[in-house]
Amino acid sequence: MYILGINAYHGDASAAIVHDGQLVAAAEEERFNRKKHCAGFPTLAIRYCLEAAGITAAELDHVGISRDPSAHLHKKILFSITRLSGLSGLIAARLANAAKVRNLREELARSLDVPADSCRAQFHNVEHHKAHMASCFLVSGFDKAAILSIDGFGDFISTMWGQGEGNRIEVLGEIEYPHSVGIVYTATSQYLGFLKYGDEGKVMGLAPYGTPRFLEQFRDIVQSERDGRFKLNLDYFLHHSEGVEMSWEDGSPTIGRIFSDKYVETFGPARHQGEPLTSHYEDIAASLQARLEEVGFHILQHLHQKTGSKRLALAGGVAFNSVMNGKILLHTPFEEVYVQPAAGDAGTALGVCYWIENVMLERPRRFIMGHAYTGPEYKNGQIERVVGSSGLKHRLLDDAELTRAAAQAIADGKIVGWFQGRMEFGPRALGNRSIVVDPRRPEMKDILNARIKKREPFRPFAPSILEERISEYFEQTHPAPTMLMVYQIKPEKRAAIPAVTHVDGSGRLQTVSRATNPLYHGLISEFERITGVPVVLNTSFNEDEPIVCTPDQAMDCFQRTRMDVLFLGNYMVER
């Protein structure tokens, strides 16, 4: 049985395909069409999934999308009519003019260039947060766990929590529009001059530079309530009253201003893009982050009380807040946390597949997502054409030679492009589409930024560490294979890896196991053999663009930037 899951008309459009309970492929559309956070219909990702499964659309049994427009419909109607401009014909006219409505079956047929009636599959709408919950719990390997899905909004809900057991998911609570901690983070990011979709991570990186002296103000903005609930002080926002213009049409999503003038009254003038990041703005970022953590732990304490579980499955855009994630084990009773690598909206395509497979069809769970390597891969034969036509010096190595040569180049202070195996699903490069450098050299951060990444100087770079060596370098030892946890680096080790030690002594680590990525594990092991340090700096293989997907894109990025060496499959390419 083949099930295709789709996230469309939402940020990070994506597709995933499952065959008889096993995940065959999953990928974001942006990797193929090269539009960051692409929010249209994932035509190319679907084509890739079908190709990876070796089938045509006619052979699909089920197709699902992680949106259910009918979900909570009465609440949408109530909200619109009782709170937005008194309605009458006004909103109706606005809707008629502005809304562009798409039909899933027709869109799928159009995108695959087949007649709509050629697809015999059953079509399903899966509510957004239920898809999130499925995307983490059903592939976590936990028999029973508490589940939290937390993001901006989806199907009128911003936060949903519940309990999973076997192939059942029970919703225990939810927070409705217009209340959302995700929207607070987005609004504050906008206020701080970070306007692009997905810029919230930059604010998280800025927070450790400040002190949370505006925490009380943020406690007024997001107010805790009983039973794990919270509400927003809506005076600070526009999305619930005047509305905010947005577009999820093809290309990167855009959202208009969300914060109201009350932000300016409270915190002073908003920072414009490119203006200096003063300590005032750093303190605002620190206060936001502190409040997010308080609210997150407030929900999780309640969730633990309700479920009694020590295991937590976490998803939603806010689950990309790796600083909060890293503190969950310190501030709540949970002892194990599973964060699926594509925890944001892209991962809902995966969730749709397993919601259909396990919950709707009641088929037993038989898949654990132990890694993120679900995208396209290219054999050396395919790569040979790319390196051959590049005109660059290259040679073919076996795996042992490859890891040795790459480790030596890193130890020598070179910037290494590392393109291997299947592309990662989710926003993090986890050793298959990575740029790897020496973390011992404090200057590497500036060199990387000057030569390739062009990132804001306050943003940290991340360490990949051998899983078995984590206790030597980090204060916490819970595995973090998807780079979605920030832990404190042991004080005595910070000087050893300065390029990946953030200003507050933390690091957003990736633990690398031999079982899930033997080649990358081999590379870090070789680096340790040469240097005595089982850690490398790992950043995504891209230059202000989506992470590279194909060998051609990797070669193009290599030639466009000032990377020193490229390991493309088993080929070592030098300038």
Partner 1 sequence: MAAGVQATQAAAELVRAVAKPYAALFLPAVLEGVPEKQELFLPLTLAYLLSAHIAFQFPLRENALPLVERVFDDILHGLPKESKGICYQSVDGLECASVLVPHSSLLLTDDRGLEELAGGDGLSAAVLSKSEGNTNLLRLRNLEKIDDLGLRGKLAGCAQLINVQSGGFITQGHFSLSW
**Contact window for partner 1 (CB under 8 A) among 42-50, 244-252, 378-386, 469-477:** 244-252
The answer to whether residue 154 forms part of the interface with partner 1 (CB under 8 A) is yes
Nearer to partner 1, 55 or 84 (CB): 84
CB of 117: closest distance to partner 1 in angstroms? 13
The answer to whether residue 244 forms part of the interface with partner 1 (CB under 8 A) is yes
The answer to whether residue 219 forms part of the interface with partner 1 (CB under 8 A) is no
C-beta separation of 313 from 147 below 8 A: yes
d(CA 514, CA 523): 11
CB of 187: closest distance to partner 1 in angstroms? 12
Q: Which of 2, 161, 177, 425 binds partner 1 (CB under 8 A)?
A: 177
C-beta separation of 4 from 122 below 8 A: no
Q: Which of 31, 36, 37, 67 binds partner 1 (CB under 8 A)?
A: 67
**Contact window for partner 1 (CB under 8 A) among 153-161, 196-204, 513-521, 522-530:** 153-161
How many residues touch partner 1 (CB under 8 A)? 54
Instruction: Give the single-character DSSP code of 490.
Output: P
CA-based R_g, the chain, Å: 23
d(CA 470, CA 326): 14
CB of 323: closest distance to partner 1 in angstroms? 27
Q: Which of 22, 51, 56, 81 binds partner 1 (CB under 8 A)?
A: 81
**What are the CA-CA distances from residue 276 to residues 104, 280, 282, 333 (Å)?**
45, 10, 11, 40
Q: Where are the beta strands (DSSP E) in 405-560?
A: 416-419, 433-437, 462-466, 485-488, 506-512, 535-540
**What are the CA-CA distances from residue 345 to residues 49, 89, 104, 425 (Å)?**
17, 33, 17, 12
Q: Which of 21, 243, 333, 518 binds partner 1 (CB under 8 A)?
A: 243
The answer to whether residue 8 forms part of the interface with partner 1 (CB under 8 A) is yes
Q: Which of 123, 197, 297, 367 binds partner 1 (CB under 8 A)?
A: 123
Residue among 461, 459, 460, 481 nearest 470 (CA): 481
The interface mask with partner 1, positions 92-111, x = CB under 8 A, is: x-xxxxxxxxxxxx------
**Contact window for partner 1 (CB under 8 A) among 26-34, 77-85, 133-141, 566-574:** 77-85
The answer to whether residue 172 forms part of the interface with partner 1 (CB under 8 A) is no
Nearer to partner 1, 101 or 515 (CB): 101
What lies within 8 Å, CB to CB, of 403 at 6+ separation is: 519, 522, 523, 525, 526
The answer to whether residue 304 forms part of the interface with partner 1 (CB under 8 A) is no
The answer to whether residue 21 forms part of the interface with partner 1 (CB under 8 A) is no
Angle formed by the axes of helices 380-390 and 551-560, nearest 10°: 30
What lies within 8 Å, CB to CB, of 163 at 6+ separation is: 144, 145, 146, 147, 169, 170, 172, 306, 307, 309
Residues 413-442 interacting with partner 1 (rule: CB under 8 A)? none
**Contact window for partner 1 (CB under 8 A) among 237-245, 357-365, 505-513, 533-541:** 237-245
Report the alpha-carbon angle 230-232-234, nearest 5.
160
Half-sphere exposure for 237 (CA within 13 Å, toward CB):
26
d(CA 539, CA 520): 13
Nearer to partner 1, 255 or 386 (CB): 255
d(CA 10, CA 154): 9
**Contact window for partner 1 (CB under 8 A) among 221-229, 242-250, 294-302, 334-342:** 242-250
Pairing of strands 222-224, 416-419: unpaired
Nearer to partner 1, 117 or 492 (CB): 117
C-beta separation of 28 from 44 below 8 A: no
CB of 178: closest distance to partner 1 in angstroms? 8
Instruction: Give the single-character DSSP code of 456.
Output: -
C-beta separation of 372 from 428 below 8 A: yes
Nearer to partner 1, 55 or 246 (CB): 246
Nearer to partner 1, 93 or 368 (CB): 93
CB of 106: closest distance to partner 1 in angstroms? 9
Residue among 164, 551, 570 nearest 395 (CA): 570
DSSP letters, 105-139, are HHHHHHHHTS-GGG---EEEE--HHHHHHHHHHTT
Q: Which of 51, 170, 245, 265 binds partner 1 (CB under 8 A)?
A: 245
The answer to whether residue 515 forms part of the interface with partner 1 (CB under 8 A) is no
The answer to whether residue 239 forms part of the interface with partner 1 (CB under 8 A) is yes
Nearer to partner 1, 184 or 255 (CB): 255
CB of 180: closest distance to partner 1 in angstroms? 10
Residues found near partner 1 in the complex (CB under 8 A): 8-9, 39-40, 65, 67, 69-70, 73-74, 76-78, 80-82, 84, 87-92, 94-105, 123, 125, 153-156, 177-178, 239-240, 243-249, 255-256
